[in-house]
Structure 1
Amino acid sequence: MAHLFKRGKRYHLKYSLGGKQKEVALRTDSLQLAKEKKRQFESALALGNENPFPTQTPIAEVLTAYVAAIRARKSAKSAQTDIYYLREIFGSVCDAVTITSRKTTGRKRPSKISQVDKRKRLPIIEATCFEAITPAQIAAFIEFKVRDQGLKPKTANHYRSILRRVFNWAIEEKGLRIPNCNGGRHGNNPAAKVRPYKEQAPTIRYLSMSQIDEQLHVLRFNPRLQTMAAVLIYAGLRREELLWLTTDDIILSRLTSTRPSMIRVQAKTINGQYWQPKTKRNRAVPISQALRQHLDRYTSLENEHGLYFPSPKGELWDPDNFSADLRKANKAANLQWACLDYRHTFGSQLAQKGVSLYKISILMGNSPEICRKHYASLIPEALVDEVEFGDSQNSDISLHRA
Structure 2
Amino acid sequence: MAYLKKRGNFWSIKYRDENNVLQTKALNTDSEQIAKGKLGDFEKLGPAAIIKTGGLSGAAGVPAATKTPLETAVQGFVEHIKTHLNSENGVKNVSVLRSIFGELCPGLEFARVGSRKYVDQNRPLLSAVHLQDLTTAKVQDYLQKILQVKDKNGRVLRGYVGKKTRNRYRETLHLFFEYALTPGRYSMSGENPVKKIKYLKLDKLEVRFLKIAAINKQLACLAEYPLLQVMVAVYIFAGLRRDEALWLTHDDIDLERGLIDVHGKTIDRKHWEPKNGENRQVRINTRLRSYLEQYKPASSEHGWFFPNPAGGRWDRDAFSEHLRKVNLEKLQFPELKANPALEMAVAIYLYSTLDWCDIVALTNKDVDLQKKVIRAKKKYTWNIPINDKLLPFIEAYCAFGDEDAPLIKDSKGNAWEEDDLDDELHKVYREKEVDWSCDEYRHTYGTQLAINNVSTRKIAMLMGNSEEIVIKHYAKFTPKDIPDNLDF
**TM-score w.r.t. length of structure 1:** 0.52
User: Which amino acid is 1:356 matched to?
Assistant: T
Mind listing any 5+ residue stretches in structure 2 that lack a counterpart? 1-12, 18-22, 28-34, 100-110, 149-157, 336-432, 482-488
User: Which amino acid is 2:260 matched to?
Assistant: S
Counterpart position of 1:325: 326
Once the two structures are TM-superposed, the CA of residue 233 in structure 1 deviates from its matched residue by 0.7
Identity %: 19
Counterpart position of 2:282: 286
1:229 to 1:34, Cα distance in 2 relative to 1, 3 A: same
Once the two structures are TM-superposed, the CA of residue 262 in structure 1 deviates from its matched residue by 1.6
Contact 2:147/2:166 (CA < 8 Å) preserved in 1?
no
1:336 to 1:262, Cα distance in 2 relative to 1, 3 A: same
Contact 1:164/1:189 (CA < 8 Å) preserved in 2?
no
Contact 2:223/2:229 (CA < 8 Å) preserved in 1?
yes
Counterpart position of 2:256: 255
Contact 1:204/1:344 (CA < 8 Å) preserved in 2?
yes
Counterpart position of 1:231: 234
Question: Which residues in structure 2 correspond to 1:82-101 (within 5 Å)?
Answer: 90=97
Counterpart position of 1:34: 49
- How many residue pairs get aligned? The number is 315
Whole-angstrom distance in 2 between the partners of 1:235 and 1:320: 22
User: Which amino acid is 2:226 matched to?
Assistant: P
Counterpart position of 2:102: none
Whole-angstrom distance in 2 between the partners of 1:129 and 1:361: 56
Contact 1:139/1:194 (CA < 8 Å) preserved in 2?
no
Whole-angstrom distance in 2 between the partners of 1:167 and 1:357: 49
1:35 to 1:191, Cα distance in 2 relative to 1, 3 A: closer
Once the two structures are TM-superposed, the CA of residue 132 in structure 1 deviates from its matched residue by 4.1
1:138 to 1:35, Cα distance in 2 relative to 1, 3 A: closer
Question: Which residues in structure 2 correspond to 1:2-401 (within 5 Å)?
Answer: 2-3=14-15, 24-26=39-41, 34-36=49-51, 40=54, 90=97, 115-116=114-115, 129=131, 132-141=134-143, 143-144=145-146, 146=148, 150-151=161-162, 153=163, 155=164, 158-159=167-168, 162=171, 177-178=189-190, 190-191=193-194, 193-194=196-197, 197=200, 199-217=202-220, 219-220=222-223, 222-239=225-242, 241=243, 245-248=246-249, 251-253=252-254, 255-256=256-257, 260-264=259-263, 284=280, 286-290=282-286, 291-303=288-300, 306-311=303-308, 316=314, 317-330=318-331, 336-339=434-437, 340-352=439-451, 353-356=453-456, 360=460, 363=463, 374-375=473-474, 377-380=476-479
Alpha-carbon RMSD: 6.1
User: Which amino acid is 2:434 matched to?
Assistant: Q
3-state SS in 2 of match to 1:40: coil
User: Which amino acid is 1:343 matched to?
Assistant: R
Once the two structures are TM-superposed, the CA of residue 282 in structure 1 deviates from its matched residue by 7.3
Whole-angstrom distance in 1 between the partners of 2:95 and 2:467: 31
1:206 to 1:267, Cα distance in 2 relative to 1, 3 A: farther
Whole-angstrom distance in 1 between the partners of 2:465 and 2:180: 34
Counterpart position of 2:340: none
Deviations 1:247-290 (A, max 9, x none): 53761236359xx53234778779xxx89799796765624323
3-state SS in 1 of match to 2:233: helix
Whole-angstrom distance in 1 between the partners of 2:98 and 2:306: 38
Whole-angstrom distance in 2 between the partners of 1:164 and 1:249: 49
Once the two structures are TM-superposed, the CA of residue 325 in structure 1 deviates from its matched residue by 1.6
Whole-angstrom distance in 1 between the partners of 2:171 and 2:267: 29
**Greater RCO (Cα-Cα under 8 Å, separation 6 or more):** 2
Counterpart position of 1:102: none
Whole-angstrom distance in 2 between the partners of 1:171 and 1:64: 11
Whole-angstrom distance in 1 between the partners of 2:472 and 2:51: 54
1:297 to 1:156, Cα distance in 2 relative to 1, 3 A: same
1:378 to 1:247, Cα distance in 2 relative to 1, 3 A: closer
Contact 1:267/1:275 (CA < 8 Å) preserved in 2?
yes
User: Which amino acid is 2:463 matched to?
Assistant: L
